[in-house]
Structure 1
Amino acid sequence: MKRTLEQRLEDGPVICGEGYLFDLERRGYLQAGSFVPEVALEDPDALKQTYRDFMKAGSDVVLAFTYNANREKLKLVGKEDKLEQLNRAAIRLAKEVAAEHPTEEALVAGNISNTNLFDHEDDESKQAVRSMFAEMVGWCKEEGVDFVNGETFYYYEEASIALEEIQKQGFSAVITLGLMEEGVLKDGYTVEEACRLLEEQGALVVGLNCFRGPATMQPFVDKIRQTCDGYVGALPVPYRTTEENPTFFTLSDSGCSCCPPLETPYPTALDPLMCNRYELAQWAKEAYDSGVNYFGLCCGAYPSMLRQVAETVGREAVNSKYSPDLEGEYNSVASNL
């Protein structure tokens, strides 16, 4: 039998490839703006190849691409009738790819995430969110995932509701928060306080994902690591965020000669602001040394970037055989240029 997530964490760092949203938009299989993952139904081979590319780049987890595949989001774009079919298809495709791993079958994770509906002062919205999470986790149960990932929550209470619904179905949970420019969650909790509470409630892994690049995420990851006793996750976006612009929402590009549609690089003109793989490796070493256990990269990452992270923390990917070799033959050719 394949090892569980907890068993793998006990044995060393675990890698989780995600950020499919931007990658599939870049590949031409997803619409920026609506950001609805219909690719599971419309181009299943494209989604399978994306899963496969990240798994071969070192991911121990094939994360079902159901980010934004909740009832509120699909109703907003007039596609609520596809909800259950989309969720089940994304999980089934993930299971097919996970079984292809040549050495140990990859874990399959269900995925639920932040909603636009949650209002921490409105009990009716809380119940609506709970119902959406419950049905998505129910499909995860019926389709047989290994654990459930709850991500990008910028309210502690929404993350807590997600955790409760995951636990009701008997799953281990990875819960990661999305931290906006303010440096605290929208309901006033610090991320370290929220993660401590989520850990006490039984989350197997707590931490941060998305919004912030390595430079502006890691200081908060350090606080979480110092506060929590269990496993900590960190999955930044691969962009050069700064103290002045701590998230990718507000980054600017002084070298751009035209005006992007939203007058900011986010979400479709961020390419010049990406970290290179060696900057990501530098971050991965810092995060590993700080005690991070669960590694990944979020929106915008390429598989080669994830492979660099995996190798930096001591993992060999299926496709490590294609990692750069800039010695030997390369130097011989370069010397003749």
Structure 2
Amino acid sequence: MKRNLQQRLEEGPVIVGEGYLFELERRGYLQAGSFVPEVALDNPQALKQAYRDFMNAGSDVVLAFTYNGNREKMRIIGKEELLEPLNRSAIRLAKEVAKEHPVEEALVAGNISNTNIFDPDDPSSKDQVRSIFAEMVQWCKEEGVDFVNGETFYYYEEALIALEEITKQELPAVITFGLMGENILRDGYTVEEACQLLSEKGALVVGMNCFRGPETMQPYLAKIRKSVNGYVGALPIPYRTTEEHPTFFNLPDGACSCHLPTETTFPTALDPLYHNRYELAAWAKEAKDIGIHYIGLCCGASPAMLRAVAEAVGVETINSKYSPNMEKHFLFGSDKTLKKHNVDYRLKA
């Protein structure tokens, strides 16, 4: 029997694979810059495979890839007529993949996110944001998602509008913030204050996602955990952000000798700045130990990274059978049948 999100949270941890935006750009099916998920219509099989890869790596949730799939983004690229078909297709593909899980059908989450048009001093922008969220959540309801994930908000009030529209459709809500380098939300709230308020207003899970790697997200997660009585979510990016450069927007690569076409390594030259999977696994264990039970990774994550995160918190994934095992490696293995001259050579290799 398929458990709902709250039931899974009660038993915990819930593993959540995100990061489709960068992953599908890396695979060649999405344009960096505009970052609009046209793949749901242009290459549905590629999107299904990305869904599948993250689910097999441990994700309990197949998140419908509608991040940036809102009316404003579609207006910018001149394809507003494709808005509803894109949203419905992304959800339907997610539902197809969720049913493939061999143990328990995965949850399907609808997805709304920062609109980049919210202005706390412009009432008309608030009305526009509400309209954007209302239609997307309505499609989520009609397509039968299990909950809606509202993510990457850097204004508390925009996140509140998202929660209100999700609640109107009587769907569970996960709301997470993207914290910019100022270390405070852009309308003046601390992230822990914002999470506490949204939890009190009915969000099932509150927390943080994107923008920050584990090192610069974890201190704020600890504050949120102390401030919130409900469930807390954490989905950092897998890059080595620092106190000096807390987000990936201005993360430098001191070893880069080539000319970059953009001012920063973001978004297409971040490759040398990855955490390895073992560092991410160590973070996941730390997150679980402080009481976070909705755990995943965001932009830049690979399925192998997510699998390491899942295994670190005690989850055996569908593809754990492919987890690293060096026993049979010709240089670094321990199998007694390996050729001795190769094993003896490994320190020189």
TM-score (norm 2): 0.95
In structure 2, the partner of 1:137 is: 137
Post-superposition offset of 1:222: 0.3
In structure 2, the partner of 1:312 is: 312
Post-superposition offset of 1:151: 0.1
Higher Cα Rg, which structure: 2
In structure 1, the partner of 2:21 is: 21
In structure 2, the partner of 1:54 is: 54
Task: Supply the AA of the counterpart residue of 2:197.
Answer: L
In structure 1, the partner of 2:88 is: 88
Given candidates 307, 321, 343, the residue that maps to 1:335 is 343
| Partner SS, residue 327 of structure 1 | helix
Post-superposition offset of 1:326: 2.1
Task: Supply the AA of the counterpart residue of 1:335.
Answer: V
Task: Supply the AA of the counterpart residue of 1:59.
Answer: S
Superposed, 1:273-292 pairs within 5 Å as 273-292=273-292
How much is the aligned-residue C-alpha RMSD, in angstroms?
0.9
In structure 2, the partner of 1:214 is: 214
Q: In 2, Cα distance between the equivalents of 1:33 and 1:241?
A: 21
Post-superposition offset of 1:335: 1.2
| Partner SS, residue 37 of structure 1 | coil
Superposed, 1:106-145 pairs within 5 Å as 106-145=106-145
Q: In 2, Cα distance between the equivalents of 1:336 and 1:162?
A: 60
Task: Supply the AA of the counterpart residue of 2:100.
Answer: E
Unaligned runs of 5+ in 1: none
Post-superposition offset of 1:328: 5.4
Superposed, 1:1-337 pairs within 5 Å as 1-327=1-327, 330-332=333-335, 333=338, 335=343, 337=345
Task: Supply the AA of the counterpart residue of 1:246.
Answer: P
Query: Per-residue CA shift, 1:237-269, capped at 9, x if unaligned?
Result: 000000000000011111111121113110000
TM-score (norm 1): 0.99
Task: Supply the AA of the counterpart residue of 1:144.
Answer: G
Q: In 2, Cα distance between the equivalents of 1:327 and 1:284?
A: 26
Q: In 1, Cα distance between the equivalents of 2:153 and 2:53?
A: 26
Task: Supply the AA of the counterpart residue of 1:106.
Answer: A
Q: In 2, Cα distance between the equivalents of 1:8 and 1:23?
A: 26
Query: Per-residue CA shift, 1:25-45, capped at 9, x if unaligned?
Result: 000000001101000000000
| Partner SS, residue 212 of structure 2 | coil
| Partner SS, residue 86 of structure 1 | helix
Task: Supply the AA of the counterpart residue of 2:334.
Answer: N
Q: Percent identity?
A: 73
Post-superposition offset of 1:331: 3.0
Q: How many residues align?
A: 337
Q: In 2, Cα distance between the equivalents of 1:14 and 1:71?
A: 31
Post-superposition offset of 1:117: 1.1
Query: Per-residue CA shift, 1:48-89, capped at 9, x if unaligned?
Result: 000000000000000000000000111011111100000000
| Partner SS, residue 74 of structure 2 | helix
Task: Supply the AA of the counterpart residue of 2:33.
Answer: G
| Partner SS, residue 215 of structure 1 | helix
Post-superposition offset of 1:336: 5.3
Q: In 1, Cα distance between the equivalents of 2:174 and 2:57?
A: 21
Q: In 1, Cα distance between the equivalents of 2:224 and 2:261?
A: 36
Q: In 1, Cα distance between the equivalents of 2:23 and 2:328?
A: 33
Task: Supply the AA of the counterpart residue of 1:43.
Answer: N
Query: Per-residue CA shift, 1:112-132, capped at 9, x if unaligned?
Result: 000111011111110110010
Task: Supply the AA of the counterpart residue of 1:48.
Answer: K
Q: In 2, Cα distance between the equivalents of 1:121 and 1:312?
A: 44
Q: In 1, Cα distance between the equivalents of 2:150 and 2:312?
A: 26
Q: In 1, Cα distance between the equivalents of 2:279 and 2:288?
A: 14
